[in-house]
């Protein structure tokens, strides 16, 4: 697919805030229905608490926006997979917040899951959420079986990378002869950017992207994920619970983008990643303006 090369969104994107709200409502409703069908256990209730009623659903938005490049009915075709990505992301947050990890108090403006539910339920909830993510991603009758499986495999690859990235994040023990910047980027590629890349890739796969197009979308998503993670590091220093829904200073014991580049340097690096993301989308012309708008909107206030 070819078209005019764009570096920023055009006027073709109308009522963008309303469109985002539509996707967020659809994801919230879909996940609410998924949990309503699940067995009513403490584990399911802990997962429901962690997933519903919070978060900006950026990864789901990326999946739908990528799908819109190829089909106008992308929301219908991508919704279950986009909701699966949100389940996987929420599972990673529950794990991040556990006493054995960051021992956080607040997430998405409310007490962390392990501070509301029994420890055993909070420990089991991420396993339930990830399993549910694969189930709803694969159970999508609006898309043929082949693309469904391919998209689910993309999600599984990102999930494996997220765990690997969490190991790097927790150990903070270096990586051979790599520089600090190289080690940081490796960690962020695995822990954060991989899921953004998978979201964009899945959105394309489920709506007809070929392998080369899906690869471009994945690359755009990865660079967008880097941008959000660098800005999340900025938020950890300059923002509080009221602004980003979690406590300030949770990364104080870790090497972050702010440690390496300073606040303004980290912001500048985030802009570089946004520009790289937009470059990957040039081949798609105006059909990618929805996704371009998400890339351009990246900020710590929206992460």
List, for residues 40-88, the tens digit of each pLDDT value: 999 999 999 999 987 889 999 999 999 999 999 999 999 999 999 999 9
Query: In what helix (H) or strand (E) does residue 111 lie, and over which residues does it extend?
Result: strand 110-111
Mean pLDDT of 17-46: 94
* Buried/exposed code over 258-273 (b: 16+ C-beta within 10 A; e: otherwise): bebbeeeebbebbeeb
Give the helix/strand (H/E) hosting 106: strand 106-107
pLDDT at residue number 244: 47
Q: What's the whole-number average pLDDT of the chain?
A: 87
pLDDT at 175 (0 to 100): 59
Cα of first residue to Cα of last residue in the chain, in angstroms, is: 30
Longest dimension (CA), the chain: 54
170 vs 290: which has the higher pLDDT = 290
**How far is Cα 86 from Cα 53, in angstroms, rounded to an integer?**
12
More confident: 241 or 220: 220
Calpha distance 79→184 (Å, rounded): 32
Residue 18 pLDDT greater than 70, yes or no = yes
Q: How far apart are CA 253 and CA 202, in angstroms?
A: 34
The answer, yes or no, to whether residue 220 has pLDDT greater than 50, is yes
DSSP-H helix ranges across 69-176:
74-97, 119-138, 145-171
**Span 24-40, mean pLDDT?**
96
Q: Is the pLDDT of residue 277 over 60?
A: yes
pLDDT above 70: residue 101: yes
* Mean pLDDT along residues 228-234: 90
CA 46, CA 52: separation in Å to the nearest integer?
Answer: 10
Q: For residue 242, is pLDDT > 50?
A: no
What is the pLDDT confidence band of residue 239, given thresholds at 50, 70 and 90? low
- φ/ψ of 107, rounded to 5, equals -145, 130
Q: What is the pLDDT of residue 176?
A: 63
Overall average pLDDT of the 272-295 stretch: 95
CA dihedral 98, 100, 102, 105 (to 10 degrees): 40
pLDDT recorded at residue 281: 98
pLDDT value at 295 more than 80: yes
Tokens of 236: 């950890």
Q: Is the distance from CB of 147 to CB of 213 less than 8 angstroms?
A: no
pLDDT at 238: 76
| Mean pLDDT on 233-261 | 69
Q: Are 82 and 203 in contact (CB under 8 A)?
A: yes
Q: How far apart are CA 34 and CA 269, in angstroms?
A: 39
Place of tokens 């070929």: 210
Closest by CA to 297, choosing from 61, 115, 63, is 61
Assigned fold of 16-302: Farnesyl Diphosphate Synthase (1.10.600)
The answer, yes or no, to whether residue 302 has pLDDT greater than 90, is: no
């Amino acid at each position: 697919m070819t078209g005019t090369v764009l570096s920023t969104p055009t006027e073709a994107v109308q009522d963008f805030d309303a469109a985002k709200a539509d996707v967020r409502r659809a994801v919230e409703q879909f996940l609410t229905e998924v949990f309503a069908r699940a067995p009513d256990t403490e584990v399911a209730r802990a997962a429901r608490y962690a997933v519903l009623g919070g978060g900006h659903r950026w990864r789901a938005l990326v999946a739908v926006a990528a799908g819109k490049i190829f089909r106008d009915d992308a929301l219908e075709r991508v919704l279950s997979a986009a909701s699966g990505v949100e389940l996987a992301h929420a599972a990673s947050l529950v794990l991040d917040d556990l006493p054995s990890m960051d021992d956080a108090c607040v997430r998405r403006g409310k007490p962390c899951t392990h501070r509301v539910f029994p420890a055993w339920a909070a420990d089991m909830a991420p396993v339930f959420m990830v399993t549910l993510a694969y189930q709803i991603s694969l159970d999508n009758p609006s898309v043929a079986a082949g693309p469904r499986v391919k998209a689910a495999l993309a999600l599984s690859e990102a999930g494996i990378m997220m765990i690997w990235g969490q190991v790097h994040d927790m150990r903070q023990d270096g990586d051979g002869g790599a520089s600090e910047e190289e080690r940081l980027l490796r960690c962020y590629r695995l822990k954060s950017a991989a899921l953004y890349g998978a979201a964009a890739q899945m959105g394309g796969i489920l709506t007809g992207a070929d392998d080369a197009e899906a690869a471009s979308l994945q690359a755009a998503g990865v660079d967008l994920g880097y941008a959000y993670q660098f800005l999340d590091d900025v938020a950890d220093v300059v923002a509080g619970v009221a602004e980003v829904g979690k406590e300030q200073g949770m990364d104080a014991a870790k090497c972050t983008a702010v440690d390496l580049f300073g606040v303004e340097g980290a912001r500048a690096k985030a802009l570089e990643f946004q520009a790289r993301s937009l470059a990957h989308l040039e081949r798609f012309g105006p059909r990618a303006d929805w996704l371009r708008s998400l890339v351009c909107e990246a900020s710590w206030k929206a992460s």
